[in-house]
Amino acid sequence: AQRVTQPEKLLSVFKGAPVELKCNYSYSGSPELFWYVQYSRQRLQLLLRHISRESIKGFTADLNKGETSFHLKKPFAQEEDSAMYYCACYNQGGKLIFGQGTELSVKP
């Protein structure tokens, strides 16, 4: 069955430190992977998707099919990055399969 795993419920770092939020997936076909972010009191919004190969707010994520991973990285965390981050895999049937989420806390 399709599954997305985010092993860390909480990740706490200091401002300026590198950040890596882990995401592993299981999917039999060609995966379409996304990172969604939810800032405090805001709605869930797209951060980035692997097919775009872009950097958003300094975040990047590379799809590693060998390790079935799609980790989210940022070299220097900022306090405004504090939020809930969800990794998601798009099912060709039309739905998103989400991980449990990782709360990122960036301390001053």
Partner 1 sequence: DTGVSQDPRHKITKRGQNVTFRCDPISEHNRLYWYRQTLGQGPEFLTYFQNEAQLEKSRLLSDRFSAERPKGSFSTLEIQRTEQGDSAMYLCASSPTPAQGQETQYFGPGTRLLVL
| Contacting positions for partner 1 (CB under 8 A) | 4, 6, 9, 32, 34, 36, 43-46, 49, 51-52, 86, 88, 90, 93-101
Residue 76: name the closest of 52, 98, 100, 55 by CA: 55
Q: How far is the CB of 106 from partner 1 (least distance, A)?
A: 21
Q: How far is the CB of 16 from partner 1 (least distance, A)?
A: 29
Name the residue nearer to partner 1 (CB basis): 4 or 106: 4
Name the residue nearer to partner 1 (CB basis): 17 or 96: 96
Q: Look-up: residue for tokens 């972010």? A: 37
70 CB-near residues (< 8 Å, 6+ apart): 23, 24, 25, 31, 33, 35, 50, 61, 62, 63, 64, 87
In sequence order, the β-bridge partners of residue 31 are: none
Q: How far is the CB of 75 from partner 1 (least distance, A)?
A: 25
